[in-house]
């Protein structure tokens, strides 16, 4: 385990370097710049701003300075919000994005796993078809369509939940529903497939032959291995949930990292975009590492490599 952890943690360093390098040059070569606006600023003022932020230096010097600052976790001030450091913005918005993604993933697991288990136990029956049809209903509808529909129906028509912002428990309902709907279907299908495979194993037949109730067989014997596909999916799912929150945060005016990433890209805010992208990458790699460790705990036959 120690060797595995050291190897994976060391692998994070070159991966972050590749991600940071690609993001750096993509931002620099993209059309536009951080100081372009509808009304052109005076040339002298623009030169002063570029000199202040080091954008007047050769590109390779800017890149080396970026690498040196990144090692110190110092991304500098935001171009859009010059009074604020990028790290300050990230750590202020991070809890919001984590809460939104965490609630959405938890809701998807709490709904998707039972649906998948029920569908597997009642395979090829009306219950199976009804459960999977209900779970798959949200897949064809993208977030940017589902979100406004929920706002129209539950906020502007029925006045049950607030339509936007992040100010209380009720304000979390619509963003979490919007973000979790598609993942409920994926988790339900993975659970159903995993349970069907496990329920055909010899040890399950032995448990039933001993006279154990079906509830005990399913919950204590089959479910532990049946949800392994779900555990493997949680790493990529968490990545997709966090990145998918970019759209949801924009729809519901949630003050998370997603909004800063979108605004930074539009404003060519180099330091803010680089900081958010690298932080996202680091967080997702650590999350995948935790998923791999959890997988081996659930199934001791799996070896860490």
Q: Give 265: exposed, middle or buried? Use CB within 10 Å, 0-12, 13-18, 19+.
A: middle
243-259: average pLDDT? 82
Q: What is the pTM of this model?
A: 0.77
pLDDT of res. 63: 92
So where are the chain's domains? 1-305
| pLDDT of the residue at 137 | 77
Pair of tokens at residue 251: 């729809």
Residue 181 has pLDDT above 70, yes or no: yes
CATH topology of domain 1-305: MetI-like fold (1.10.3720)
| DSSP type of residue 221 | I
Distance CA 124, CA 121 (A): 9
Burial of 291 (0-12, 13-18, 19+ CB in 10 A): middle
Give the least confident one: 11-25, 115-129, 178-192, 244-258.
244-258
Q: What three-state secondary structure class fits 214? A: helix
Closest CA to 20 of 277, 269, 260: 277
Number of Cβ within 10 Å of residue 187's Cβ equals: 27
User: What average pLDDT does this structure show over 179-195?
Assistant: 89
Distance CA 261, CA 144 (A): 17
- 298: pLDDT strictly greater than 70: no
Would you state the pLDDT for residue 295?
67
| Model pLDDT, residue 260 | 84
Place 64 in a pLDDT band, splitting at 50, 70 and 90.
Answer: very high
């Amino acid at each position: 385990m120690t060797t595995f952890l050291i190897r994976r943690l060391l692998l994070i360093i070159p991966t972050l370097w590749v991600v940071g390098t690609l993001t750096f040059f993509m931002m620099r070569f993209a059309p536009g710049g951080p100081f372009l606006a509808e009304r052109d600023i005076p040339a002298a003022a623009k030169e002063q701003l570029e000199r202040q932020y080091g954008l007047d230096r050769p590109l390779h010097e800017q890149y080396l300075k970026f690498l040196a600052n990144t090692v110190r976790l110092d991304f500098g001030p935001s171009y859009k919000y010059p009074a604020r450091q990028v790290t300050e913005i990230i750590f202020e918005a991070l809890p919001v994005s984590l809460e939104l993604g965490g609630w959405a993933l938890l809701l998807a697991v709490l709904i998707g796993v039972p649906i998948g288990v029920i569908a597997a136990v009642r395979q090829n029956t009306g219950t199976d078809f009804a459960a999977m049809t209900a779970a798959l209903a949200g897949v064809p509808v993208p977030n940017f369509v589902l979100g406004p529909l929920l706002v129209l129906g539950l906020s502007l028509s029925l006045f049950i939940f607030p339509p936007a912002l992040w100010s209380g428990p009720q304000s979390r309902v619509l963003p979490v529903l919007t973000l979790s709907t598609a993942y409920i279907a994926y988790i339900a299908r993975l659970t159903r497939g995993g349970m069907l495979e496990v329920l055909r194993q010899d040890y399950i037949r032995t448990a039933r032959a001993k006279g154990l109730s079906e509830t005990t067989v399913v919950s204590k014997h089959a479910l532990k291995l049946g949800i392994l596909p779900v555990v493997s999916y949680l790493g990529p799912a968490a990545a997709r949930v966090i990145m998918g929150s970019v759209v949801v945060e924009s729809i519901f005016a949630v003050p998370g990292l997603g909004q800063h990433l979108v605004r930074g890209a539009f404003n060519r805010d180099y330091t803010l975009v680089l900081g958010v992208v690298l932080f996202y990458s680091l967080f997702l790699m650590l999350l995948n590492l935790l998923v791999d460790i959890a997988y081996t705990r659930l199934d001791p036959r799996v070896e860490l490599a």
